[in-house]
Structure 1
């Protein structure tokens, strides 16, 4: 059975993507951590899972139905943080709206489709800039570099993105419009 690797995420606007990609490149150049460059800057809502090619239409239909009920959400990026000893990321405020969106995605899409439970930790919204191939020693140096720096940005996200792995990197497979706009929204 042919299957591919997917994950579901929120991607920030182009300006924030460019700035975060610059930080990922800095981590690659200075701390030999290039793994984060293999995906666009994002906040993971559901981590990577394998899905059969023959059932992609079912996955897309479930996401389309979910996004019809889900509202756009604001991402608030505020400073740097780390999962010691290998991950450095931009902290994303765990707003009630963001936490609700993620929990509803699990309840309304992941569970009904029997997606493998790949979430090993509680949902901690973040935007990774270095991980996996960051050695413990380079982590110490990089974290010393980033922990005192500031980073602040915010943007509204109007799409949920399904990404697929092409064998080398993650790429956008399809974007789903978050369509539940209240009547008084512009």
Structure 2
């Protein structure tokens, strides 16, 4: 059994910039869990599956690339979940929501996830900068500094990534380039 995560990875320069924010938080507030995964936007949460199903998962995810073209993702400021997670917010985006919904349907249709993910109503795209080892006391010290801090960046999402955990870290298993074919009309 291995753990798999489906996500969008921002371009390397932006990922490095966000990783510096994660490192700043880690050093100043002594929280380290957010440093473990690569900087990413989760499209489908980590799932544990049999290693022999890996090639099928890749095969099942490939057709999703034909349903979506590249699109822009806007990041804006910081927010939090339940005083336990601090993240950079992703501005609501119909293209990202549609991609997430199609990926969730692959997991559902092929019964990769034990419980069906019925919709993406709960999908809240974000880039985590602190979580899990963030105590309520630490959160109350960290949040006043970040709640009004400005952060505004954009990038083009032209692929999604399947990552595999090797018990130590996440590694890229496969990248899926978004490549929706052009549609042609007989009547312009």
User: Helix, strand or coil: the match of 1:105?
Assistant: helix
1: distance between equivalents of 2:112 and 2:146? Answer: 35
Tell me which stretches of 4 or more aligned residues in structure 1 moved more than 3 Å: 117-121, 181-184
Is there any run of 5+ residues in structure 2 with no aligned partner, and where? none
Residue 9 (1) aligns with residue 13 (2): no
Contact kept, 8 Å, 2:108 with 2:116, in 1: the verdict is no
- On the 8 A contact 1:48/1:118 being kept in 2, the answer is no
Deviation of 1:73 after TM superposition, in Å, equals 2.4
Equivalent residues of 1:87, 1:134 under 8 A apart: yes
1:151 paired residue number: 151
How big is each residue's C-alpha offset from its partner over 1:102-141, in whole Å with a ceiling of 9 and x where there is no partner? 112112x111221224869700010000000111111111
Task: Select 1:97's aligned residue among 95, 104, 112.
Answer: 95
Deviation at 1:53, TM superposition (A): 0.8
Partner SS for 1:27: helix
Summarize the alignment of residues 27-42 of structure 1 with structure 2, pairs less than 5 Å apart.
27-42=25-40
Cα deviation digits, residues 30-59 of structure 1 (max 9, x gap)? 111111111111100000101111111110
Distance, in Å, in 1 between the alignment partners of 2:76 and 2:158 is 20
**2: CA distance, partners of 1:130 / 1:121:** 23
1:113 equivalent to 2:110? Answer yes
Q: Is the CA contact (8 Å cut-off) linking 1:47 and 1:118 kept in structure 2? A: no
TM-score (ref. length: structure 1): 0.91
Work out the CA distance in 2 between the residues paired with 1:177 and 1:154.
Answer: 18
Paired residues in the alignment total 181
Q: Is the 8 A contact 2:70 2:158 kept in 1?
A: yes
Larger C-alpha radius of gyration, 1 or 2? 2
How far apart are the structure 2 equivalents of 1:29 and 1:112? 43
1:175 Cα offset (Å): 0.7
The answer as to 2:48 corresponding to 1:86 is: no
Separation of aligned partners in 2, 1:21 and 1:74 = 21
**Alpha carbons 1:49, 1:118 under 8 Å: kept:** no
| Structure 1: gaps (5+ residues) | none
Between 1:114-123 and 1:138-147, the stretch displaced more is 114-123
